Structure 1
């Protein structure tokens, strides 16, 4: 038997590695926290918020397994009530939205298990920047240190649901923003340069050249000319973009690259493409429409929920079932995200496919009215069957009209 090494023996080999720094160095003098990068870098914010909104939009349902091919959805279970309203001040959507934001930015996220004022179980999101895993166990934290403006507290490991990604050693994840360091650094420098050009330079950047034999200017004359030039043709001058009038044989010599030469638009597109790639998001989902057609956008939309969001949903589901479900339910209860509505296409496509598969209508009048929040009708719960559709062995088949029958007589 190969399972002979005890868990305790491995635990004694290493201490828990603390989370790495959450600061990213962009230049020699500028460093930003991961959150600041999300807040200020539009490409990062677009990608992360896109993931968070799409996952939070999905419903999280609770089921009980009845057999190998049978299950029942639980709508009145304490676990379902917990996700319906995690705490009196938070909705399910906002809890999931914050969870994905934390994972996408820090590669770590924390839910504190609490008891609400009503005495029911609750969940509260803890900001990753204020939480530190502690202990000597390299399999899982022994406790968590939570900091606040009035001090810090220690929270037992089983009182927190801890989500995290991969790292080489220890259990703290590594932010995907780290892999974008060079891309974001270039974007930061390009943005700073663009801002400086628009703020300090004329629209046609360069310098003024005077002829060799021109009359020498006094320091006061030079200062006066420079001040007048800047006030009129640079920054917020009244004649920015206008045509200057030069005297005494002076010439304007272009001395810098234009916005076109620097390819700002192309650079920003590249940054968004790199960020989309880091988060495994199809580029068209982030507005990069180069080469996009209706057919490949439709396929990429399916890929989004299968290849991009699929691993996210599976990870979140398994962590919930590992760390939260045992507190409120037995082993036959599990959770599942509702992907059906996202993967079945439009209502028309779905109904056409189902009708073609079963050979007839699948919805009653009242079921259709319920979709528009209309009241039911008497007799509307009967499934209408077209006259030309029957089943083999139907005890009461609808007879065909005999040849030569007058339609008006049939109606009468």
Structure 2
């Protein structure tokens, strides 16, 4: 095998003319703005967003889990320009990438990191025997621990991974690359991606605040607040410090919390209760929370109907929403990530391979795939090679080497 198939520093063959330069003319400017050789920290707090938007918010949690699990379960096709493979070293590696994970667990973690931070990092564990082609293991690294070190041309020359005060640097100047960095589109950052969690940050804050308000209402027996008015018999409108402390103690001890809900209050000594404030319905509280939940779902590309959020009638039925979820969210993510992983592993293999979702094995797309196969199969004006190309199949064996 040709070990230098994807070597970035390999010179082009001598053709008698000057080699073509394909580096971006803006790369040096990007490097100067970033600082050559210094880590570039992401302009967001990934840990905070994850804590508030994933572990602390049910809508964000379900959106990430729904997309990551669906994308990780999509079957993959491995092929090259000549054939499609049922067994292949790349498929064998992905089926058991490391002792603690299978293919589904690895890709679920990778998709989850991309959805939470906009960046996914795969580490390749090189075998001791350098004659081996593929890595022995693949591991997903946490995005909040990784920083990019740009070079003079703007491209990363290293990645720093920090854990507990210790730092490990992955050198990206050799071949093949030890790190595969998959990032989402970010219009204002040259080195990091933009996550749906960042776009939904405001809606997540509103939803969390609404949940906190609901909890406070339940802790106070779901009753509007009010005021205790003191009208002393001597004409004085104030309580003594001892009376005030006793009143507060009685309120906190006997009239707060779910255990004391509905308990009658005994007022004495000129005390009178005056309810005040607004009910949750007057404040349109539930509508505000539902609107924030829909905004979170829209940012992630999940139809609100799939999350059980009321008030959404974009799709006629659940099956249509499910099909749109796969077409607009799951498959684009799975296609982009699988293509990046295939290109990265091709550098180890020394030959280009392709990984892409097998649309014929996705149950949500079964009806439209059946229609496509029938429509192409009945097209008499198309040759066999054209039909296979339209269906995403490699050329037939008889057409690969015509005699």
* TM-score interval for Structure 1 and Structure 2 normalised by the shorter chain: 0.7 to 0.9
The separation in 1 between residues aligned to 2:267 and 2:24, in whole angstroms, is 84
Partner of 1:338: 358
**Residue 14 of structure 1: SS of its match in structure 2?**
helix
The separation in 1 between residues aligned to 2:359 and 2:275, in whole angstroms, is: 58
CA distance in 1, matches of 2:307, 2:127: 39
- Give, in angstroms, the shift of residue 312 of structure 1: 0.7
Indicate if the aligned counterparts of 1:161 and 1:324 stay in contact, CA closer than 8 A: no
Identify the residue that residue 153 of structure 1 maps to in structure 2: 168
Q: Contact 2:59–2:296 at 8 Å: present in 1 too?
A: yes
SS, match of residue 139 in structure 2 = strand
Considering Cα pairs closer than 8 Å and 6+ residues apart, tell me whether 1 or 2 has the greater RCO. Answer: 2
Residue among 205, 220, 228 paired with 1:208: 228
CA contact (8 A) 1:79 1:329 kept: no
Aligned to 1:232: 254
* 2:85 is the counterpart of 1:73: yes
Q: Which runs of 5+ in 1 are unaligned?
A: 25-31, 359-412
Report if aligned partners of 2:232, 2:270 keep a CA contact under 8 Å in 1. Answer: no
Report SS of the residue matched to 1:278: helix
Aligned ranges 1:112-151 → 2 under 5 Å: 112-115=123-126, 121-137=136-152, 140-149=155-164, 151=166
Secondary structure of 1:100's match? Answer: helix
Alpha-carbon distance in structure 2 between the residues aligned to 1:219 and 1:289 = 50
Q: Which residue, 19, 30, 46 being the options, matches 1:14?
A: 30
Change (3 A) 1:270 1:330: same
Aligned with 2:104 (options 73, 93, 103):
93
| Alignment-derived partner of residue 365 in structure 1 | none
Tell me the equivalent position of 1:393: none
The 1:311–1:278 alpha-carbon spacing in structure 2 relative to 1, beyond 3 Å, is: same
Report the number of matched residues: 338
| C-alpha separation in 2, matches of 1:56 and 1:50 | 10
Kept after mapping to 2: 8 A contact 1:133/1:145: yes
Distance 1:257 1:187 in 2: 20
Name the CA distance, whole Å, in 2 between partners of 1:215 and 1:150: 66
Q: Sort the Cα spacing of 1:114 and 1:196 in 2 relative to 1 into closer, same or farther, 3 A.
A: same
- Counterpart residue number, 2:115: 104
For residue 314 of structure 1, what is the aligned residue in structure 2? 335
Aligned counterparts of 1:55 and 1:151: Cα–Cα separation in 2 = 33
Q: Does 1:287 align with 2:299?
A: no
Deviations 1:178-224 (A, max 9, x none): 22232223233333444444446773421122447566554433432
Structure 2 residue 62 is the aligned partner of structure 1 residue 42:
no
Structure 1 residue 114: deviation in Å?
0.7
Counterpart check, 1:182 vs 2:181: no
Unpaired runs of 5+ residues, structure 2, are 1-18, 35-39, 379-403
Partner of 1:33: 48
Counterpart-to-counterpart distance in 2, 1:299 and 1:320: 30
* Cα offset, 1:166, TM superposition: 1.9
In 1, Cα distance between the equivalents of 2:128 and 2:190? Answer: 36
**Alpha carbons 2:121, 2:181 under 8 Å: kept:** yes
Instruction: Answer whether contact 1:205 1:256 (CA < 8 A) is retained.
Output: yes
Q: What is the Cα deviation at residue 6 of structure 1?
A: 5.0
Structure 1 residue corresponding to 2:282, chosen from 240, 258, 261: 261
Q: 1:231 to 1:12 in 2, by over 3 A?
A: closer
Whether 1:328 aligns to 2:344 is no
**Cα deviation 1:145-199 (Å, max 9, x = unaligned):** 1222362122122111110112234131123322223222323333344444444
CA distance in 2, matches of 1:322, 1:139: 21
Tell me the TM-score normalised to structure 2 length. Answer: 0.73
Hey, what's the Cα distance between the residues in 2 that align with 1:245 and 1:172? 61
| Cα distance in structure 1, aligned partners of 2:217 and 2:150 | 52
Distance 1:153 1:21 in 2: 21
Corresponding position of 1:301: 322
CA–CA separation in structure 2 for the residues paired with 1:226 and 1:311: 59
CA distance in 1, matches of 2:168, 2:260: 61
> What secondary structure, in the 3-state scheme, does the structure 2 residue paired with 1:261 have?
coil
Distance 2:365 2:193 in 1: 35
Q: CA RMSD in A?
A: 3.4
Give the Å deviation of 1:106.
Answer: 0.6
CA–CA distance in 1 between the matches of 2:234 and 2:262?
Answer: 27
Find the residue that maps to 1:307 and give its secondary structure.
Answer: helix
1:354-393 map, 5 Å: none
Of 176, 185, 191 in structure 2, the residue corresponding to residue 166 of structure 1 is 185
Deviation of 1:273 after TM superposition, in Å, equals 0.5
